[in-house]
Amino acid sequence: MAQPPIHWNANDEGNSIPAVNFSDLNVYAKELVPAIIPKLPSAEQINTEMEQKYARSTTAPTTTAETLNETTKSNTSAVSKGKKAIAAVKGDTERQKEPLNILFCGHVDAGKSTIAGHLLFLTGQIDQRTLEKHQVEARENSRESWMHAFAMDTTKEERAHGITVEVGRAWFETERKHIVILDAPGHRHFVPNMIVGAAQADVAVLVVSARRGEFETGFERGGQTREHTMLVKAAGVRHMIVLINKMDDSTVNWDRDRYDEIKNKLIPYLKKCGFKSDEDITFIPCSGMKGAFLKKAPEEQCAPWYTGSTFAEYLDSLPPFNRNIDGPFRMPIVEKYKDMGMIVMGKIESGCCRVGDQCVIMPNRNRVKVTNIYYEDMETDFCICGENVRLKLANIDEDKISSGSVLCSTESEPCHVGKIVVVEHKSFISPGYSAVLHIYGASFEVQLQKLIVLVDRKTGERTQPNPRYIKQDHAAIARFQLSQSGKGICMELFKNFAPLGRFTLREENGTVAVGKILAIVE
């Protein structure tokens, strides 16, 4: 099996989007409380140390796991009480591991939630008592095989129908990684929710069913295997892990020929979407129900032909990501709720944040103050890019935070707010065409104003100015405008800040186009 690449950069040219044929919060967290808490330093000593480390983190580039850990080992605001100092000790111990956000995607009923739930049980995030409770509830619904999925599917609707609706969230740890699971819905009606999850992912985990007939249904036209693959690449995810699930099914029985058949069918399409087979794609056979090859290889020799890593082992072996810790603070808000104050959730895409920092919420330009930072169930004073966190904000009402809002630092220029966008676009459309534009967690209806020029897909040269229309397999530069006047959407040029510079254009029946933002008219 191919080893993971030595180094990945989420903003390099490898993440440009190639031409493609288009046809309740759930956190099982355990707080680490040391058995013996050492003597705590004074508030002055803590403050001095933290300020020194924060100064280093903002003046020197950070590209390795060691320097990332050095930044996260200490909090960055003064601790004046013993209780807060103890929290700092817990944070120092807990956050020495690199954050990694993985997205489970794929066709409905492929077993994404079952794999995620079983992995949480195997890594100790779910105890036996909780598993038995899920088993009883699943048996009452005559769906005992859903017991592991109940760890991720927490609402009554999801458990009654066995379909994930919202992006489930949980976490577990390996020896070197703190891994956040984002469990995306597989039904085509909930693709907009899946796009929000894909925007937060560092690594995509495509789950396909090896059961005969199920893989073919998901991979053929109309199945979500194809669309999800294209969408995660459009979101800038470079590495794809393909879990071939249900290998223990009676129609498969760990047959290597079936494994190779699925692998050989997927590779050409993955390459077509822009993934490089030798560097970016990894295949692992598994059984979500039995847990085979999730954390450990099964004791019985069910698949002696597979000699590669287990899923958890491979995740732990991934090299560090190049995080933009020195950039301006940017956190797209994916969820909000009230809990003794206003809480917002999201993945920090750039920079860092401390308790007490003054920020601005774009596009409404509301100024807020960060009063608390929560990393999983642990309160801390400091967070950096790559971490999926919850922030408590002061001086803001819930109705002032809209879909697609971005939390930015006041010490640097906030993200741009565009009303007219020039994008690189691929599909069959003409001026006057309307669709829904998705940028990170935001979605707005837009209308095509003008087709500027056709672009050669291979050379990138501009070929035909002012075309009347573009069709499938064409690439073009086009100008879009928000349909609702007076509205703005947070975005950036792709070359400046890729996470807010990518877009997906969708209709009711599916994805129409993907592309990148080349110019913004505010």
User: Residue 75: what pLDDT?
Assistant: 36
* Cis preceding linkage at 99, omega within 30: no
User: Residue 237: what pLDDT?
Assistant: 93
355 backbone dihedrals φ, ψ, rounded to 5°: -60, 135
User: Residue 376: what pLDDT?
Assistant: 87
Contact 521, 418 (CB under 8 A): yes
pLDDT band at 474; cut points 50, 70, 90: confident
Spatial neighbors of 391 by CB under 8 A, at least 6 apart, are 331, 343, 344, 345, 353, 370, 372, 373, 374, 383, 407
Q: Provide, rounded to the nearest whole percent, the portion of the chain with pLDDT above 70.
A: 79
Q: Is the pLDDT of residue 505 over 80?
A: yes
pLDDT, tens digit (0-9, with 9 covering 90-100), for 200-219: 999 999 999 999 999 999 99
User: Residue 160: what pLDDT?
Assistant: 82
Contact 116, 186 (CB under 8 A): no
Q: Is the pLDDT of residue 255 over 90?
A: yes
User: Residue 67: what pLDDT?
Assistant: 39
Helices within 364-467 (DSSP H only): none
Unique residue bearing structure tokens 């295949």:
283
Contact 2, 276 (CB under 8 A): no
pLDDT band at 260; cut points 50, 70, 90: very high
State the DSSP code for 234. H
Task: Rank 54-68, 206-220, 501-515 by mean pLDDT and report only the highest.
Answer: 206-220
Q: Is the pLDDT of residue 85 over 60?
A: no
- The pair of structure tokens assigned to 90 is 């817990």
Nearest to 235 by CA among 189, 182, 287, 279: 182
pLDDT, tens digit (0-9, with 9 covering 90-100), for 86-139: 344 344 435 679 999 999 999 998 999 999 999 999 999 999 999 999 989 888
Lowest-pLDDT choice from 11-20, 26-35, 278-287, 340-349: 26-35
pLDDT, tens digit (0-9, with 9 covering 90-100), for 188-198: 889 999 999 99
pLDDT band at 244; cut points 50, 70, 90: very high
User: Residue 167: what pLDDT?
Assistant: 92
CA distance 499 to 351: 13
Q: Is the pLDDT of residue 42 over 70?
A: no
First to last CA, the chain: 48
- The pair of structure tokens assigned to 128 is 């036996």
pLDDT band at 27; cut points 50, 70, 90: very low
pLDDT band at 11; cut points 50, 70, 90: very low
User: Residue 279: what pLDDT?
Assistant: 82
User: Residue 352: what pLDDT?
Assistant: 93
User: Residue 52: what pLDDT?
Assistant: 52
Contact 393, 369 (CB under 8 A): yes
CA distance 465 to 474: 13
User: Residue 423: what pLDDT?
Assistant: 59
What mean pLDDT, rounded, does the chain reach? 80
User: Residue 272: what pLDDT?
Assistant: 87
User: Residue 256: what pLDDT?
Assistant: 95
pLDDT, tens digit (0-9, with 9 covering 90-100), for 174-189: 999 999 999 999 888 8
Identify residue 503 by its one-letter amino acid code.
F
Q: Which is more confidently placed, 472 or 149?
A: 149
Average pLDDT over residues 267-295: 92
Ordered structural domains, the chain, with CATH? 98-317 (3.40.50.300), 330-409 (2.40.30.10), 420-516 (2.40.30.10)
Residues 399, 483, 230, 226: is their CA dihedral positive or negative?
Answer: positive
CA 127, 30, 103: angle at the middle one, nearest 5? 85
User: Residue 313: what pLDDT?
Assistant: 96
Question: Which conformational region is residue 252 in: left (phi greater than 0), alpha (psi within -120 to 50 degrees), or beta?
Answer: alpha
Q: Is 0.85 surpassed by the pTM of this model? A: no
User: Residue 293: what pLDDT?
Assistant: 95
Q: Is the pLDDT of residue 242 over 60?
A: yes
Q: Is the pLDDT of residue 344 over 80?
A: yes
Average pLDDT over residues 306-316: 95
Q: In this structure, what is the dihedral angle of CA atoms 264, 265, 268, 273, given to the nearest 10 degrees?
A: -130
Q: Which residues of 266-302 are buried (b: 16+ CB within 10 A; e: fewer)?
A: beebbebbbbeeebbbbbbbbbbbebbbbbebbeeeb
